[in-house]
Amino acid sequence: MSFPTGFVWGAGTSSYQIEGAVDEHGRGPSVWDAFCRTPGKIKHGDTGDIACDHVARYRGDVALMKQIGLGAYRLSVSWPRVMPGGDGAVSEAGLAFYDRLVDELLGAGITPYVTIFHWDYPLALYRRGGWLNPSSASWFEAYAGAVVDRLSDRVRDWITINEPQVFINHGHTTGENAPGLRLPIGDITRIVHNTLLAHGLAVRCIRERARTRARIGWAPVGLVNSPVGDSPAEVEAARAKTFAIEQPGAWNNTWFNDPVLLGRYPDEVLGLVAEHLPAGWERDLEAMRQPVDFLGLNIYQGGRVSLGEGGEAVPVRQETGRARTAFGWSITPEALYWGPRFFHERYKLPIVITENGLANLDWVHLDGRVHDPQRIDYTARHLGQLRRAIRDGVPVEGYFHWSLLDNFEWAEGYDQRFGLIYVNFETQQRIPKESAAWYAEVIRTNGRSLGPLGGEAVPANAAGADQARGGGS
């Protein structure tokens, strides 16, 4: 079985992770530039100063995308490259870079999906309170407006914010990501609120100012709990856990998606943190909830649950010797079935998988090539599950593999290689991995090359009813 006609096959990157050129175009510093200079924060003291040198090499990178046959490419715009001080003056040279990149993509027949914010927050705004500042949503709106004014004659597909849960939780609660803060829950509550409002104001701004009909979404992490069996009670328990808020913190789905997509804070949030919400929060809900065209989901792995005696979901113990990636993330392909399904059923929106992929221990083999069968197998299994979701009626518009290139993996520095294309960070040489050729064939055949099993089976060492359901498509 192939994927639906018009299915979007893509790959993604983000600005700070690949661009380099941190001092070009009058770019201002971001919180990540500062964080990378704080001793002990990034493995080996790595920085994004050069990264994949993409600003200088974007033409070659687009040529490689074309070679793979990508229908779409998800890029992000660097806020401090476009507005060095975070608000106010725009850098003409910064915007011109994205102009050229978009033109290059369109010339290669590749549709740009533009993420407006993928974590490289202007340091100047951080110094003014960052996401805690009540003006932070308006700052974001102004920046989004500058990007839309410049690119929307050619860009149709927009993603406002990437993984709000991660930049808020890892950046402001655990401190493992920039800006490295460890704030109490009251501050986190206000940061989440301002971020949700920023999303809403940006959507409204894109709708009002775009020069072509815009298609807009956002790209939260999809935290998925999959049932190991498929009895209705177990499915409901898994769904309930997926959408529960079990502790007061930013690591959940509904604190983010319910306000933006349903126009209300979940009751658990109000029960836990209502006292910390800024005055007038009810009014802000209207601005947060703007009609969007798709829900992006970044899904790499998920939990597995079975049915407890009281009807609740009980996490299944991870089996000894479980399949895992170089990052240590569990390989749970069924998350790409239950995730799209649960999220579509709750929010009634078409789904785009905005990120999925794995870190693998890739190197250049004696024959000069990069063989990465793990990436091929991981991706085949996940696409098989995604196809099963589509077959069961979930409208999935597209799939963006993370990532096009090996790149700067945040606090991990360059240790974790996620690319379809290998990057030698000493020489900047690119070598498309075996998975790139494999993905090219998947794209060319619109998924038919996945074969009849298509990776629908879950990992061989994972017990559970899904295995029995694995075959046929």
Catalytic (active-site) positions: 163, 355
For residues 164-223, which are near ligand FCB according to CB under 6 A?
A: 166
- State the greatest distance between any 2 C-alpha atoms of the chain, in Å, as a whole number: 64
User: How many chain residues touch ligand FCB (CB under 6 A)?
Assistant: 11
**Contact criterion met (CB below 8 Å) for 420 and 436:** yes
H-type helices in 263-372, by residue range?
A: 267-273, 281-288, 335-347
Least distance CB 162 / ligand FCB (angstroms): 5
Our finding on whether 399 is near ligand FCB (CB under 6 A) is: no
Nearer to ligand FCB, 158 or 402 (CB): 402
Answer for which of 409, 413, 423, 447 binds ligand FCB (CB under 6 A) is: 409
Q: Pick the stretch among 162-170, 226-234, 285-293, 309-317 that binds ligand FCB (CB under 6 A).
A: 162-170
Among 98, 265, 338, 410, binds ligand FCB (CB under 6 A): 410
Please, which residues have CB within 8 angstroms of residue 92's CB and are 6 or more apart in sequence? none
Residue number, 3 or 418, with CB nearest to ligand FCB: 418
- The span from the CA of 193 to the CA of 137, in Å, is 9
Closest separation between CB of residue 359 and ligand FCB, Å? Answer: 7
Exactly one of 35, 97, 418, 439 binds ligand FCB (CB under 6 A); which one? Answer: 418
256 binds ligand FCB (CB under 6 A): no
Residue 207 burial (CB count, 10 A): 16
Closest-approach residue to ligand FCB (CB): 163
Instruction: Return the number of the residue (145 or 175) whose C-beta is nearest ligand FCB.
Output: 175
- Count helices and strands (H / E) in the chain: 17, 13
Give the number of other CB atoms < 10 A from CB of residue 367.
Answer: 7
Structure tokens at 387: 């196809």
Residues within window 5-34 making contact with ligand FCB, judged by CB under 6 A: 14, 17
Q: Is 88 left (phi over 0), alpha (psi -120 to 50) or beta?
A: left
Residue 51 Cβ vs ligand FCB, minimum distance, rounded to whole Å: 12
Q: Which stretch binds ligand FCB (CB under 6 A): 41-49, 134-142, 159-167, 194-202?
A: 159-167
162 binds ligand FCB (CB under 6 A): yes
Unique residue bearing structure tokens 């407890």? 308
* Token representation of residue 64: 């490689």
Residue from 141, 157, 163, 406 touching ligand FCB (CB under 6 A): that is 163
d(CA 307, CA 300): 23
**Cβ pair 180, 35 in contact under 8 A:** yes
Question: Of these, 355, 397, 406, 466, which contacts ligand FCB (CB under 6 A)?
Answer: 355
| Burial status of residue 6 (CB atoms within 10 A of its CB: 0-12, 13-18, 19 or more) | exposed
Cβ count near 231 (within 10 Å): 12
Chain residues binding ligand FCB by CB under 6 A are 14, 17, 162-163, 166, 298, 355, 402, 409-410, 418
